[in-house]
């Protein structure tokens, strides 16, 4: 097996404890527009793009006038009411910095909108080691379609065998597999090991992977240090 040289991270539920907040924003926005949806029904879909989630729970197309209003209100609720209370999972900053120190290149692949993603990445406290990020604006189809992961892979310009995806939902696993990548799963997003079937390893979250890094699939990575990026080179 080739040594891993690049890591593609999901964000929500993987680096940032935000899955419940996303579900709450959707439930509240939908209720304002007269659509009563249970929190649990939405929560199980967090991780796929909103363009797929909305029609799944309501039958409303995200491209319709009503769909656009609901999606816009959902983003507003999330950004203004919920985002200020969110935090990164324990070990997020340390994991990202250690992977960078070992010479791995780090990119982000998220179904989130670019503005939302930028604010979420600030919460990691390690924006200086994130090489680039792909969001919903970089792909025609959101997760579990592979477009966003493929866009991140294109930025890395590394062979598939030298890149691994790290995510917390079955949608991450499916998107990565359809892009030809292996996935390391995190339980931090609330999914069981059986739901994360197809991963090459599963950890509780960033801190757990960091603690077991030397016995993980990332153990064979280069130990060549990388230079810290300048503020102009940082994604966020």
Positions marked active-site: 10, 12
Tokens of 6: 């690049």
Half-sphere exposure of 143 (CA within 13 A, CB side): 28
Sign, CA dihedral 57-62-67-68, equals positive
Q: How far apart are CA 71 and CA 40, in angstroms?
A: 19
**Gap between the terminal Cα atoms of the chain:** 33
∠ CA 219-223-227, nearest 5°, is 130
∠ CA 197-202-208, nearest 5°, is 165
């Amino acid at each position: 097996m080739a040594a891993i040289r690049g890591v593609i991270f999901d964000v929500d539920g993987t680096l940032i404890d935000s899955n419940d907040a996303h579900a709450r924003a959707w439930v509240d926005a939908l209720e304002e527009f007269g659509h009563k949806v249970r929190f649990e029904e939405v929560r199980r879909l967090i991780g796929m793009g909103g363009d797929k989630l909305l029609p799944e729970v309501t039958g409303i197309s995200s491209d319709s006038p009503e769909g656009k209003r609901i999606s816009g209100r959902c983003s507003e609720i999330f950004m203004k009411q919920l985002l200020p209370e969110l935090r990164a999972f324990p070990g997020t900053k340390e994991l990202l910095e250690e992977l960078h120190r070992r010479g791995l290149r780090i990119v982000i692949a998220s179904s989130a909108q670019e503005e939302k993603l930028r604010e979420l990445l600030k919460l990691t406290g390690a924006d200086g080691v994130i090489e680039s990020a792909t969001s919903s604006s970089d792909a025609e189809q959101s997760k579990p379609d592979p477009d966003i992961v493929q866009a991140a892979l294109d930025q890395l310009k590394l062979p598939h065998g030298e890149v691994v995806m790290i995510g917390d939902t079955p949608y991450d696993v499916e998107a990565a597999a359809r892009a030809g990548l292996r996935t390391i799963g995190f339980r931090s997003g609330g999914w069981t090991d059986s739901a994360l079937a197809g991963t090459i390893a599963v950890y509780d979250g960033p801190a757990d992977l960091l603690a077991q890094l030397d016995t993980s699939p990332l153990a064979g990575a280069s130990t060549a240090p990388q230079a810290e990026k300048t503020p102009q080179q940082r994604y966020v």
